[in-house]
Structure 1
Amino acid sequence: MLLPAILGSLLLAAQAPQALAAKLTQVDYPNNATSKVQMFVYVPDNVVANPPLVVVIHSCQSTAQTYFQNSKIPWKQGSDKKGYITVWPSSPHSGTCWDVSSRATLTHNGGGDSQAIANMILYSIDKYKVDPAKVFVTGGSSGAMMSNVMAATYPELISAVSLYSGVAAGCFVSSSGGVDQWNNSCSGGSSKATAEKWGDVARAMYPEYTGSRPRMQIWHGSADGTLAPGNYQEEIKQWTNVFGVTQTPTDTRKNYPQANYQTDDYGDHVEGIYATGVGHSVPANLTASEIWFGLV
């Protein structure tokens, strides 16, 4: 009588779902930047060979751990489903906004937060055998601002960016050169310039660079009361100029990826998604961002 019971128990155990061992883990990484950003990494149980990497940059008043646990930030689920690795930087500053204002962070190898995050990418390529041609960056609010800065300061490391509710790279620059400085003019939408000027701002962050640049997907809400909706158009100006394309969309899709959203393509390398009636910040859309990254 015991043998059938034992066999039945073994069969049930074999059929039971296995507990996942993967968890968000802080790691030490070679960081020669002045900024000491913490690095957290999530390697899923089913990681693929030569995996893609998504760097997920948190907003103000958040950390790598809380952003990772936020149900509105779906990159853990995407990682579990498709086997790519995610890195979650954690800001060292009071209030946990990112430094997108100092000369250090707005300069390639300047020693600021941007260089620390670049060091995480380089470490991940070496440690986790990440495919260097499949490195992607995303973030919301302050994390979106840093995503724009990363695209300007380290374009050689990044294939594509999908950012939610940010401002143009360099818009938050501090006249005093201070680290992690708020800029009311920029946040309120008063910092306006021509497309060429914004393009020059981005190019000046790595003036000797002549290589390819990451594809840019830019999201913003029309009811954003923290980073004014006008910042969306300044971002579009900046990146269409960097890529040398017109500010007239080559394709427009209404109610995509959902109702009250409009998606405008500016060639193959810049995409703007404007969410009517949506405040700060636009909720992350895993499917649309993964499509932009080629993770489908």
Structure 2
Amino acid sequence: MTTRRTTLSAIIIAVLTLAGVVPATPASAASLVEVTGFGDNPGRMRMHVYVPDTRPAKPAIVVAMHGCGGSGPGFYSGSEFASLADRHGFIVIYPSAQQEAGFGKCFDTWSDAAKRRGGGSDPVSIVSMVTHVRQRHGGDPDRVFATGSSSGGMMTNEMLALYPDVFKAGAAFMGVPFHCFANAADYPPGSSRCTGGGGLNRTPQEWGNLVRQAYPGYTGPRPKMQLWHGTADTLVPYSLLQEEVEQWTDVFGLSQTPTSTDTPRTGWNRSRYSNQVEAYSIQGAGHSLPSSGMAAAALEFFGIIGGGDPNPPTPGTCAVKATVNAWNNGLTANLAITNTGTAAINGWSLAFTLAGGQTITSGWNAAYSPSTGQVTARNAGHNATIPPGRSVDIGFQAVHTGNAAAPSSFTLNGTACSTG
């Protein structure tokens, strides 16, 4: 009887599929998956992909790239792109660089191969990842985007310069202009002409020519660019933000004078150059971007979030109560996150700031990254949804050097929470 029912079910599914009807399947929890054999891979890179359970027939694709010493899985855990993918139905590719460059493994933005379209190295590997996702998951070729932090922000500039026909927009956090590094010896650490001192200074036309020479003869549309930098960044000098602005405004033939300026959030000073380039100066921020809410701003620039997140927790719709139990040089902290709004929160990331000298050693009911400073806790599979009026409890154990204060400055999915 069991065999007969199984065969009958298979026949029914086949008939429905031929008729264009896809039968419902049980819901499953999306997870980060490593992909091997994804195509031409001269950079010998590793590829991880996050495919949300709910997505349109032709989902957008976002390539999200880590900083030096990081990894794809680390950027998945430490940024908000995956939780936003759950909310908005796009696919995220997380490449892992394999090139050693003094700061650990970094994306190759210095070699001759990496500066020529089709030249090889990491850019070719990343395009192979995009092609794989388009073929395997039906990704929309007209909605492919790049973003990244530090080394990943530098590679974002690379990908938009080399493959303007693949990427429609980019958001570079703490990056440098395309073709800033002369060679491997010029890459940090050391005496880099690009990032040493105040940073390399070229004219807008010189910067723009480098982009135009990367793909000679290309006359199609150029991807628009969003640029982010902290004013207190000393590792990748803040002055390089202006060099990036000069490069991309020249590529678009725009004036160096912004068409508008505003402050979308406290400390976020934005300059817009028509609708093709925008630059964010983050007041007082060091080499620590993206922080809470910036991923959503990038997705709005891409057009994945149309005119803002359609389902955000609005101000005042979350509350966090922190309880700390401390001893000698250790402590435990319990965080009760309450949805005080009227709509369910589906998928969440809680950003907060640890007191100085504290380092998380373990945690429960969430994934925590990084372990010091500004930390992001991402939901576990069993507590991803917070119904209105309900709470979830998470916590961690940490060591401290004398300051056992509770964490502060809580934001849930980019929105500030009340405390009590």
User: Does TM, normalized by the shorter one, top 0.5?
Assistant: yes
The match for 2:204 is: 195
1:276 to partner: Cα distance: 1.5
Contact 1:102 1:179 in 2 (8 A): no
Contact 2:270 2:279 in 1 (8 A): yes
Distance 1:219 1:37 in 2: 26
Aligned ranges 1:112-191 → 2 under 5 Å: 112-174=121-183, 178=184, 181-182=187-188, 184-188=192-196, 189-191=198-200
Is 1:276 aligned to 2:278, yes or no?
no
Distance 1:162 1:132 in 2: 18
Distance 1:30 1:115 in 2: 12
**1:107-144 superposed Cα distances (whole Å, 9 cap, x missing partner):** 10001101110111112111111111110111010000
Whichever residue aligns with residue 234 of structure 1, its letter is E
Distance 2:93 2:186 in 1: 22
Is 1:266 aligned to 2:242, yes or no?
no
Q: Secondary structure at the match of 1:218?
A: strand
Q: Secondary structure at the match of 2:237?
A: coil
1:179 to partner: Cα distance: 8.6
User: Who wins on radius of gyration, i.e. which is larger?
Assistant: 2
Question: TM-score scaled by structure 2?
Answer: 0.63
Distance 1:27 1:261 in 2: 37
Contact 1:252 1:263 in 2 (8 A): yes
**1:193-247 superposed Cα distances (whole Å, 9 cap, x missing partner):** 0000000111111112211111100001110011001100000000000000001
Is 1:61 aligned to 2:47, yes or no?
no
1:265 to partner: Cα distance: 0.6
Unaligned runs of 5+ in 1: 1-17
Unaligned runs of 5+ in 2: 1-25, 306-420
Distance 1:55 1:133 in 2: 14
The match for 2:96 is: 90
1:281 to partner: Cα distance: 2.8
Distance 1:223 1:203 in 2: 31
Is 1:32 aligned to 2:40, yes or no?
yes
1:48 to partner: Cα distance: 1.9
Aligned ranges 1:37-48 → 2 under 5 Å: 37-48=45-56
More helix by share: 1
Distance 1:181 1:193 in 2: 18
Distance 1:91 1:180 in 2: 18
Distance 1:50 1:19 in 2: 20
1:60 to partner: Cα distance: 0.6
Distance 1:99 1:267 in 2: 31
Is 1:77 aligned to 2:75, yes or no?
no
Counterpart pick for 2:253 among 218, 241, 244: 244
Residues 186 and 179 of structure 1: is their aligned pair in 2 closer, same or farther, counting only changes over 3 Å? closer
Count of residues paired in the alignment = 272
Contact 1:32 1:111 in 2 (8 A): no
Distance 1:277 1:181 in 2: 25
- Which structure 1 residue ranges, 4+ long, deviate > 4 Å from structure 2? none
Whichever residue aligns with residue 32 of structure 2, its letter is L
Residues 232 and 81 of structure 1: is their aligned pair in 2 closer, same or farther, counting only changes over 3 Å? same
Contact 1:164 1:281 in 2 (8 A): no
The match for 2:119 is: 110
Residues 33 and 209 of structure 1: is their aligned pair in 2 closer, same or farther, counting only changes over 3 Å? farther
Distance 1:200 1:160 in 2: 19
**1:40-69 superposed Cα distances (whole Å, 9 cap, x missing partner):** 111111122100001001111101111111
Q: Secondary structure at the match of 1:105?
A: helix
Contact 2:27 2:53 in 1 (8 A): no
Contact 1:264 1:272 in 2 (8 A): yes
Counterpart pick for 2:226 among 214, 217, 220: 217
Whichever residue aligns with residue 283 of structure 1, its letter is P
Distance 1:156 1:100 in 2: 19
Whichever residue aligns with residue 237 of structure 2, its letter is A
Contact 1:47 1:83 in 2 (8 A): yes
More strand by share: 2
